[in-house]
Chains A and B, each alone.
Chain A
Amino acid sequence: MDFMGYVRSDGKVGARNYVAVVPSVTCANDVAQAICRQVQGTVTYLHHQGCCQMPPDLERVTDTLISLGCSPNVAAVLIVSLGCEGTDHERMYSELCATGKHIEIIHIQELGGVSNAIQQGTDIARRLMIEVSGLQREPVNISNVVMSIKCGASDTTSGMASNCVIGYIADKMVDLGATVIFGETTEFIGGEHLLARRAVNSEVGEKIFQIVNAMETRAKSIGCDMRKGQPTPGNIAGGLSSIEEKSLGAIMKSGTRPIQGVMEYPEHVTTQKSLWIKDTPGREPEILTGMAATGAQCMLFSTGRGAPQGFPSMPVIKICGNPNTYQRMENDMDLNAGCIITGEKTIEEVGEEAFVKMLHVLNGEMTKNEAIQYFSAIDIHCLGPVI
């Protein structure tokens, strides 16, 4: 089975053809945003990290930004550096150049300030955009796809409808030789034993218990009942009573195939195939960034209460499990899985519809959040304090 994609010099295949304008630190956001507003076809990542952090976090931010640039949906990169940040902008530049893509870098301080940087950056981004804008899509095997999955603004329909649809597609994509990545470690709590049973070996099984334990320990260290944090007030209003209930519904979206291993948050896919976990929190800005950094060309996103957000360089397909929400928020929802709850369709029927939708999106069709550019709230997940 094929889809139409952009074949990159490193052999990866994109479903989009963006020039990414990447701020190496939050202090470069305004310049990156101004360039991006001016040049059609560019995307930026307005994160809040990159300085006054502990060294492991600075490395994590550097690695995540590199991985975002490595994504096959990105054709070329302009790094916008302030000049004095904590992230390693030189390593960012050299590692991204190794992909064979056209990479440029500007430094705001060196160029004499914001307005000069915006002007130079705009000229460079325009050049990059013209350079890549003529690239053509070609048929490539679907095994080149890295599909990420996530659920957000969940309610009790998520675990009984929309997550089951994604689980169906996850199994299908694994069987077609593609890569499927799921995360949200917080939402393994209470269901980790079921995931560990699906691990390819005991080492991977132990790693699953270990990342869940680390996440739960971080939550418990605050000294209160985790509820209201997870499940969120919205989850609770939607009928989810505990993190265990939320988790058991959430892991439905991982399907049934064996789990090959656990990727760290900043990592991108190199040779990984089949089903993998990425250690991420559940909150949208951080997990969407983490999944885009994986190199995922698209995301299937299940929701019950109606989560509208997407990501700049990764189309996000919204599958809504709650028939009432779908009716209210059809403008933001790409697919209705609520008909499973009402008994009008089966999981398999909606699963096939969603699979076809995903193929269209991989071929270039825009998702609802993508078309209105609802994707500016993004961030990189860090572990230590801001200092």
Chain B
Amino acid sequence: MVLKLALKVNNKDNVATVFANDIINGTEVEIRDQVGKIERMHVIGNVPYGHKIAVKDIHKGEHIIKYGEEIGVATAEILQGEYVHIHNLDSMRGRGDLD
């Protein structure tokens, strides 16, 4: 079986980036962190190459963390393994629509 790889950049991150093609709902991916530790997870949703999944449950209103830093806020309850992108992650910057 071809390895379905996802990378987690920082220990604090609650998302990992999937670098594999044909990731559909239910596919098992292997998440590797910076020190090579491996965790397996089933993906929820169809995830294109280079897109993110949650590595743990994230509650609505919680920060989404990548590179150990905040990249946005969850706009819905997100389950472990679920696809994370602009449908459930809101940017907190450059928001002229909120002023």
- Verify if B26 is at the interface (C-beta below 8 Å from A): no
Q: How many A-B residue pairs have CB under 8 A?
A: 103
- Verify if A335 is at the interface (C-beta below 8 Å from B): no
Q: What are the residues of chain B within 8 A of A203 when measuring CB–CB?
A: none
Q: What are the residues of chain A within 8 A of B5 when measuring CB–CB?
A: 343
Let me know if A189 and B97 touch, CB within 8 A.
no
Let me know if A242 and B71 touch, CB within 8 A.
yes
Residues of B42-99 contacting chain A, CB below 8 A: 48-52, 64, 66-67, 69-72, 84-86, 89-97, 99
Q: What are the residues of chain B within 8 A of A237 when measuring CB–CB?
A: 48
Which 3 pairs from chain A and chain B are nearest by CB? A226-B94, A242-B91, A220-B96
- Verify if A190 is at the interface (C-beta below 8 Å from B): yes
> Cα distance A301–B92 when bound, in Å?
28
Assuming the contacts A190-B71, A194-B69, A245-B71, asked whether A239 and B51 have C-beta atoms less than 8 A apart, the reply is yes
Q: What are the residues of chain A within 8 A of B90 when measuring CB–CB?
A: 242
- Verify if A143 is at the interface (C-beta below 8 Å from B): no
- Verify if A341 is at the interface (C-beta below 8 Å from B): yes
- Verify if B7 is at the interface (C-beta below 8 Å from A): yes
4 new A-B contacts, CB < 8 A, other than A227-B91, A244-B71, are: A220-B96, A225-B97, A324-B21, A324-B49
Assuming the contacts A157-B19, A160-B7, A236-B86, asked whether A241 and B95 have C-beta atoms less than 8 A apart, the reply is no
Task: Pick the most buried of A225, A237, A241: most chain B CB atoms within 10 A of its CB.
Answer: A241
> Cα distance A163–B76 when bound, in Å?
31
- Verify if B9 is at the interface (C-beta below 8 Å from A): yes
> Cα distance A249–B66 when bound, in Å?
10
Let me know if B49 and A225 touch, CB within 8 A.
no
Let me know if A224 and B93 touch, CB within 8 A.
no
Let me know if B50 and A226 touch, CB within 8 A.
no
- Verify if B17 is at the interface (C-beta below 8 Å from A): yes
Let me know if A248 and B94 touch, CB within 8 A.
no
Let me know if B94 and A219 touch, CB within 8 A.
yes
Let me know if B50 and A157 touch, CB within 8 A.
yes
Assuming the contacts A239-B17, A241-B72, A245-B66, asked whether A156 and B93 have C-beta atoms less than 8 A apart, the reply is no
> Which DSSP category, helix, strand, loop or mixed, fits chain A's interface?
loop
> Cα distance A159–B90 when bound, in Å?
20
CB < 8 Å neighbour of B70 from A222, A244, A343 = A244
- Verify if A230 is at the interface (C-beta below 8 Å from B): yes
Q: What are the residues of chain A within 8 A of B17 when measuring CB–CB?
A: 156, 160, 239
Q: What are the residues of chain A within 8 A of B48 when measuring CB–CB?
A: 237, 239
CB < 8 Å neighbour of B99 from A157, A220, A241, A244 = A220
What's the minimum C-beta distance from A374 to chain B, rounded to whole angstroms?
25
Q: What are the residues of chain B within 8 A of A221 when measuring CB–CB?
A: 96
Task: Pick the most buried of B48, B52, B64, B95: most chain A CB atoms within 10 A of its CB.
Answer: B95
> Cα distance A227–B17 when bound, in Å?
20
Let me know if A248 and B66 touch, CB within 8 A.
yes
> Cα distance A223–B95 when bound, in Å?
8
What's the minimum C-beta distance from A202 to chain B, rounded to whole angstroms?
22
For the complex, count residues of B whose C-beta is within 8 A of A: 31
Let me know if B96 and A245 touch, CB within 8 A.
no
- Chain A residue with minimal CB distance to B52? A239
- Verify if A322 is at the interface (C-beta below 8 Å from B): yes
Q: List 17 A-B contacts (CB under 8 A).
A: A155-B50, A190-B70, A216-B94, A223-B97, A223-B99, A227-B86, A236-B85, A239-B48, A241-B71, A242-B86, A243-B94, A245-B71, A248-B66, A248-B67, A248-B69, A249-B67, A342-B19
> Cα distance A159–B10 when bound, in Å?
13
Task: Pick the most buried of B69, B71, B85, B86: most chain A CB atoms within 10 A of its CB.
Answer: B71
> Cα distance A66–B18 when bound, in Å?
46
What's the minimum C-beta distance from B13 to chain A, rounded to whole angstroms?
11
- Chain B residue with minimal CB distance to A222? B96
> Cα distance A194–B49 when bound, in Å?
28
- Chain A residue with minimal CB distance to B69? A248
Assuming the contacts A241-B72, A242-B71, A248-B67, asked whether A189 and B51 have C-beta atoms less than 8 A apart, the reply is no
Q: What are the residues of chain B within 8 A of A236 when measuring CB–CB?
A: 85-86
- Verify if A304 is at the interface (C-beta below 8 Å from B): yes
> Cα distance A68–B52 when bound, in Å?
41
- Verify if A41 is at the interface (C-beta below 8 Å from B): no
- Verify if A255 is at the interface (C-beta below 8 Å from B): no
Let me know if B97 and A244 touch, CB within 8 A.
no
- Chain A residue with minimal CB distance to B95? A225
What's the minimum C-beta distance from B46 to chain A, rounded to whole angstroms?
13
